[in-house]
Amino acid sequence: LYDFTPSEPGELAFKKNDIIAVLESVYKDWWKGSLRGQTGIFPLNYVEKLQDATKEELERDAQMESEVFGEVRSVEKLLALLSVEGGSGRRGEREEDEIAELYQRTLSIRPKLVELIGKYSQKKDDFTQLNEKFIKARRDYEALLESSMSQPQQYQQYPMRHHQSSYQLPQQQQQPPYGGQIPPAGYPPQGPPSAGYQPYSAPNVPQQQDPQRYFSPGPSSEQP
C-alpha cells in the first residue's frame, strides 16, 4: 500500500506494489518477510494480503506468456533486417514497411514483458532464498547426525579400558600342598633330599578285604 523506510536494524524496506513473501509472525502488528533477497520485519498496516489467484487470472497469465514468447521470432527478424543494409545504402519500400510492422508488434508486447519480468524476478528471489535455507538446514542436519554418531563410540571406549585395568588377573602361583606350607627356595615340594639313608619300607601286611564287597552266609539250619 505504501513505501516503508526502515528506522531500526532488521527492518525490511519496500515500495508500493512490491510483493513480500511472508515467513512468520514476529510481533502483534509486525511480520517477517523477504523481498529481493533481503529478510526483515515490516508493519502490517503498510501492506495488504494478496488473494490467491483465480482461474481467470491464471488463464490471463498463461495467455500473456504465450503472446510474449510467440513474438520472439518477430524480434529476431527485426534485428536481422536492421543489421543488413542495401547495396546503395538505402532499403526498399517493402523492407521499410516490414520493419515498421515488426517494430509495432514488438512495442505491443513490451508492457507484458515488463510485467512478466517483475513476477519472475520476485519468484526467483523467493526460490533463491528458499534454496539457501534448504542448504543451511541440510548442513545443520548433517552436522547433528555426525555428532550423534560419534558420541556413542567414545562412550563405549572408556568402559572397555576401565574394565581391562580393573580386572587384570594376577600372575599364577604354585599352590602349596594340602595342610602344608610353601617349601623354602631350593627344595622340591616333597621336602629336602635324604642324605645317604635307605628308604623305609613297611612290612608286608595282608590287604584287608572290604566287608562291603563280600557276603558271608550264616550257619546252616539243617541237622547233620
Cell triple for 45: 498496516
| E runs forming strands in 12-146 | 21-25, 30-35, 38-43
pTM exceeds 0.85 for this model: no
Question: What is the CATH superfamily name and number for domain 1-50?
Answer: SH3 Domains (2.30.30.40)
20-54 confidence digits (pLDDT tens): 888 888 888 888 888 877 888 888 888 888 777 77
Output the tens digit of pLDDT for each of the chain's 224 residues.
688 888 889 888 888 878 888 888 888 888 888 887 788 888 888 888 877 777 787 888 888 888 888 888 888 888 888 887 654 556 777 888 888 888 888 888 888 888 888 878 777 777 777 788 778 888 888 888 888 887 655 544 555 554 444 444 445 455 555 455 554 544 455 554 444 444 444 455 455 445 445 444 555 544 44
Q: Where are the domains of the chain?
A: 1-50, 55-154
For residue 214 the three cell numbers come to: 563280600
Q: Assess contact for 129 and 37: CB atoms under 8 A.
A: yes
